[in-house]
Structures are given as C-alpha cells and as structure tokens.
Amino acid sequence: MTKLHKIAAIPADGVGTEVVEATKQVLSALQERHPTFELEWHDFDWGTAYYEQHGRMMPEEGLDELRTMDAILFGAVGWPTVPDHITLWGLRLAVCQGLDQWANVRPVTFHPGVPSPIVDAHERELDWVVVRENSEGEYSGFGGRNFAGREGAGEVAVQSAVFTEAGCERIMRFAFDLARTRDRRKVSCVTKSNAQQYGMVLWDDVFARVAADYPDVETEKVLVDAMAAKFVLRPEDLSVVVASNLHADILSDLGSAMAGSLGLASSANLNPERRSPSMFEPVHGSAPDIAGQGVANPVGTFLSAALMLDHLGHPDEAGRLREAVDKALAADVRTRDIGGGATTRDVVEAVTAAL
C-alpha cells in the first residue's frame, strides 16, 4: 500500500536551493522504484530574497502552514546581504522553536571512498550520533546589550544560557532511548560543569538521575574540551553523544569534517512526541562561495532525506537511499569538497542509477 505524505520544501538560500532540488529528484526516483510511499511537495520561497521583498524571512502565518505538513525538508539559510543572526532567527530557529523540534540528531558517518583527514582507512567502519539539545541552553536568546559595566569596559553585552530541568531531562531520555537501538549501548554526556557552575551542573545532575533508569546503557561524562580531543583520538569509543545546543553544534561540525566534508553531514530536528512536523536538513550553510555553480555536494541533504524516510515509517527505503549514496561515492562520483570533480547533477544521476 502506498502511504502519502505532505512534505514542505524550504530550500531558502544559496546552495540550499540546489541541494533541495537535487534531493527532490532522487526521492522521486526512489518513489518510482519502490512505490510504498508518495510525497506531495509543498514549496515555500522563504529566505533572504523573501526578506528583502517583505521585511521578514517568512510570512506571519508561516508556522500554521507548516503545522499541516507531515515533515519539512530544509536547505540552508543566510546570505551576505543580511546579517546572519537576522536570517537564522527569522527562519530556521523560528521553525525549530515554533514547532518545538527540541531534539537535533546529527549522525557522524564515514563513507567508502571518501578520505578522512584524520581517521585511518581501516577504522572507517565507525559511526556515532551527536544528539543536540535544540530548544534552550546557549541559544535561548536571553540577554541584551548596553548593560552597565565597570569603568573603561565600554559597552557590555550579556548572553545567558538557560537550562531547565524538564529540557535537560527530555533530551537525556531521548539519547538513552536512541542508545538502546544501537549496537553499542552507550551515552557520553558532554559538559563544562567545572567552569559553569549553574546550568551545566543542573545538566550533569539530570544526566545522573536519568542514567539510573537505564542500567543497561553504559555512560560517561566528558568535558567539552576533552570531548573535542576524544573525537579525534578515540572515536571508536563513541556511540551516542548528548550535548547542549552550542557544544553539539561545534562537535557535530568537527565530526562531519572528520568524515570528509561538511557537505556529507545530515541532521534531523525532531519533535519526538509528533505533535508538530519535524524538519530535516543538511548541517552545512548556504555556502555563498560556491552557490549557483552547480557544484554543491547534495549528499548531506540526501542523507537528511533518509532520516526523514525513517521518521515517516519507511526504514527500508531510507536504507536503499543510503546504500545508493555509498555506491555512488565508492564509484568515485564525488564533488569538489571531497576531492572529486563531479557536479551536483552528476551525483544525482549516479545515485539515481544506483537505486
């Protein structure tokens, strides 16, 4: 039986438009070959060009429109003509927070044929997942400028991190539940409680409390600086890494660079209770330096679409898409960022053929 899903496409800016278009093509080929699902696309032209015309990144009723969808495929947001904090908060963070997508899942996956700058070829079987708290922490938006400071300090700005017990608890439980679905049942908790004595200590306390409910899952607590080193030195020790909004943002970029390129990295912004649609997007940004040239790596978005198919209840089809991607990469169909000369179009064709 064919299952119909309503999908919002928000390509937004720069290479976002190229990789989302490429992904729609590959998904339509997958759907043709495996007609177990059908995607009904709803396209939204929100982003920086929309902002320049309307003074906002998306219409006021935009979130309500998205609420009627089953999932969202997102490209990338930001362009040099408008400050990044305006475009980011005006669209991507507005959707994440407005639709309560509080869990951000970012797999770190190595691929055959793609050289890693650090990890030896024989170890490239490894993969781990960064689980990012996506609703509060350092990106709470809490603070302000022009605070009174000590003499000679000039302008003082305060940017506060907000950690709630409920927010910490739900992301910890999510990480432990995810660990139970993996070969290695382990959760590494990233912290900085030695230097940040309020929020990060609450974060640690909640981790210890939740861990007690999962005696079958191995745990460790690692300072964020030590975790950066561990990614590089002992990645085979990782399975699920749970971290705050800022820490996970940085660590997942490190992981994707280790796996070969930011252009390969996928992510899911989930509302695990399924009260609102979840959003799937590549980890990379709008890449103005290569936008419009047809050379963007679409793999990060393909793999985000695979996460979307998992979420929509089509794990077999998601697996087929992942296999086709690895076949294309192993056959040396690689874009410039991973040492090849292929165009976005070439990758679409190779993956489609491998399906």
Binding site for ligand ATP (CB under 6 A): 15, 19, 78, 262-263, 284-287, 289-290, 296-297, 300, 335, 337
Q: How far is the CB of 286 from ligand ATP (least distance, A)?
A: 5
Q: Which of 139, 230, 310, 337 is catalytic?
A: 139
| Nearer Cβ to ligand ATP (227/296) | 296
Question: Which residues are CB-neighbours of 269 under 8 A, at least 6 positions away?
Answer: 95, 96, 101, 103, 104, 134, 278, 279, 280, 281
Q: How far is the CB of 19 from ligand ATP (least distance, A)?
A: 6
| Nearer Cβ to ligand ATP (281/317) | 281
Q: Which of 43, 45, 64, 225 is catalytic?
A: 225
| Nearer Cβ to ligand ATP (23/188) | 23
Amino acid identity, position 339: G
Say whether 139 is catalytic: yes
Q: What is the DSSP letter of 202?
A: H
Say whether 225 is catalytic: yes
Judge contact between 100 and 305, C-beta under 8 A: no
| Nearer Cβ to ligand ATP (200/350) | 350
Q: How many CA atoms lie within 13 A of 262 on its CB side?
A: 13
* DSSP3 helix / strand / coil % (the chain, rounded to 5): 45, 25, 35
Q: How far is the CB of 292 from ligand ATP (least distance, A)?
A: 12
User: Distance between CA atoms of 207 and 213, rounded to whole angstroms?
Assistant: 10
Position with the least CB separation from ligand ATP:
285
User: Distance between CA atoms of 191 and 247, rounded to whole angstroms?
Assistant: 8
Containing 330, the helix (H) or strand (E) segment is helix 315-330
Say whether 253 is catalytic: yes
Q: How far is the CB of 77 from ligand ATP (least distance, A)?
A: 7
Q: Which residues does the annotation mark as catalytic?
A: 139, 192, 225, 249, 253
